[in-house]
Amino acid sequence: MKKLTFFLLLLTAIVAFNVGATAFAGENAICYNCPPMWADWASQLKAIQKHIGITMPHDNKNSGQTLAQLIAEKANPVADVAYYGVSFGIKAKEAGVVAAYKPSFWDEIPQGLKDPEGYWFTIHSGTIGFFVNKDALGKAPVPRSWADLLKPVYKGMIGYLDPTSAFVGYASAVAVNMANGGTLDNFDPGINFFKKLKINRPIVPKQTSYARVISGEIPILFDYDFNAYRGKYKDMANVEFVIPAEGTIVVPYVMSLVKNSPMPNEGKKVLDFIMSDEGQAVWANAFLRPIRASAMSPKASAKFLPASEYERAKPIDYAKMAKVQNTFRDRYLEEVR
């Protein structure tokens, strides 16, 4: 009898362990391109774990690397959700590596900022400009225009992410091009700008470079407003965000559910949370413009530049932007790099 009782207790313990292990496994999900130093994903991942009990590790890919990895793993996906610049979301749909899913509050996402079937959708947007560490400028003034950056005084001070890989790099190139009279059919002004900028020996990293601006290693970086505001208000650095006098662009960042992902239900829960009031508030508090305008509190809004400054930041044809990305990439590699 004692042996039978011991056996039953052991069997119960094994079953309980296996059930517990399965339940624990269901509380994990993988997000590609959710780096803690970018757009305050660190806070968002903590909020996801706190509110819905799903743990997601940090991931430091950029948009281009994310798409390449999704394609490489198409037959055996590893990620459950992906985050990237809008042009890469469009390309991910074309590559057949993401699934259609319409998250919570789908109807509040404006047309043009989501795929009609849900293969990608905007979660927040950013505005391209100059993220400037004023202490690192020395005696040089804060630049106010794209043209200013061509002046010898900024030699060795300017950085931009590789536009052939990182989406923010490509978005910056589009902004430069259009501000100088180019179009999505004509990248001549942008290419010419980068050729001239080479004289000032720009720094061209492939990965997010927030820390390098805060430290002063890169005094001026082509980047989004939200990173500069984060540096100013959270890290208390002597930094400034500048919207160039000639103009710039607004860029949506999007997410997708990965096709045939290991944890699709968990992936959907994550996407639903990011679109919820709590999830959108994380972006607003991190100085991003949430896609659901109702999540932007007056307190958060007050930390942005005045609306009059943002009038120089324009939306563009994002589908066309994605379509011509390879055209720009090839020209940049051939004529600039």
Transcribe 21-73 into DSSP letters: HHHHHTTB--EESB-TTSTTHHHHHHHHHHHH--B---B---HHHHHHHHHHT
Tens digits of residue pLDDT in 146-160? 999 999 999 999 999
- Which residues of the chain fall below pLDDT 70? 1-26
In 3-state terms, what secondary structure has residue 224? strand
The answer to whether the beta carbons of residues 212 and 157 sit under 8 Å apart is no
Tally of residues, the chain = 337
Q: End-to-end CA distance of the chain, in Å? A: 79
pLDDT score for 171: 94
Provide the CATH number for the domain formed by 126-249+308-335 in this structure: 3.40.190.10
Provide the CATH number for the domain formed by 30-125+251-301 in this structure: 3.40.190.10
The answer to whether the beta carbons of residues 231 and 54 sit under 8 Å apart is no
| Nearest in space to 291 (alpha carbons), one of 277, 307, 309, 303 | 277
179: Cβ–Cβ under 8 A, 6 or more apart, which residues? 146, 244, 246, 247, 248
pLDDT score for 287: 87
| Nearest in space to 322 (alpha carbons), one of 30, 41, 93 | 93
Whether the CA torsion 113, 281, 88, 261 is positive or negative: it is negative
pLDDT score for 212: 97
**What are the residue boundaries of the structural domains of the chain, listed by start?**
30-125+251-301, 126-249+308-335
- 294-320 in b/e form (b: 16+ CB < 10 A) is ebbeeebeeebbeeeebebbeebebee
pTM higher than 0.85 for the full model? no
pLDDT score for 58: 94
Tens digits of residue pLDDT in 286-316? 888 899 988 888 888 899 999 899 999 998 9
The answer to whether the beta carbons of residues 86 and 126 sit under 8 Å apart is no
Percentage helix, strand, coil for the chain under 3-state DSSP, each rounded to 5: 45, 15, 35
Whether the CA torsion 78, 44, 212, 176 is positive or negative: it is positive
